[in-house]
Amino acid sequence: MLRYQIRGENIEVTEAIRDHVEKKVSKLERYFIETPDANVHVNLKVNPDKKSKVEVTIPLPQLVLRAEEVNDDMYAAIDLIVDKLERQIRKHKTKVNRKFREKGDLQQLFATGANGAVAVETADDEDELTIVRTKRFDLKPMDSEEAVLQMNMLGHSFFVYTDAETNGTNIVYRRKDGKYGLIETS
């Protein structure tokens, strides 16, 4: 059973918006054998430039579906985000099917089509998953500030390093808003 948690920033979540979100997101249920027991976290935001931003996160047992969309029209953004989530499900479904095809023990999480066939993505998706380059490097102990400086100096959007205090592997990254994020491993 899907439970919706819809919140708005700089916008009142009207009954019409809530109904539209629930109607559109509930279409994702057709990809599952039974409706997953999950919370659907929806964040609706209207920025000062009058652009609408919709973020949807659906944590499931085998994967987390997450997408965001920015559009002039809130309803259009909701429609587009559901399309993105559908593509994520199909891609994951194809990956799982390909991985377990030989074994014959594919766990039945996803529904199949009318003829029993599982939807298969085009060869383009296989190219997206191909590793085209491998790099090896030593992680140098440093603090997060130095890691951000190194990342900027290299012109990358993320940087992996060993934290000098905890000796753990951490990652700093540049967010879409231009600020920085830190991922700490345990």
Mean pLDDT for each consecutive 10-residue tract of the chain (186 residues)? Answer: 89 93 89 77 89 89 83 92 89 74 54 44 52 79 89 85 91 92 89
- The full DSSP string for 27-93 is GGGGGBSS---EEEEEEEEE-TTS-EEEEEEEE-SS-EEEEEEEESSHHHHHHHHHHHHHHHHHHHH
**Hey, what domains does the chain have and what are their CATH numbers?**
2-128 (3.30.160.100), 141-184 (3.30.505.50)
pLDDT given at position 110: 55
Are 156 and 148 in contact, with CB atoms under 8 Å apart?
no
pLDDT given at position 133: 78
Would the pTM count as exceeding 0.75?
Answer: no
pLDDT given at position 82: 92
Among 166, 167, 134, 173, CA closest to 150: 173
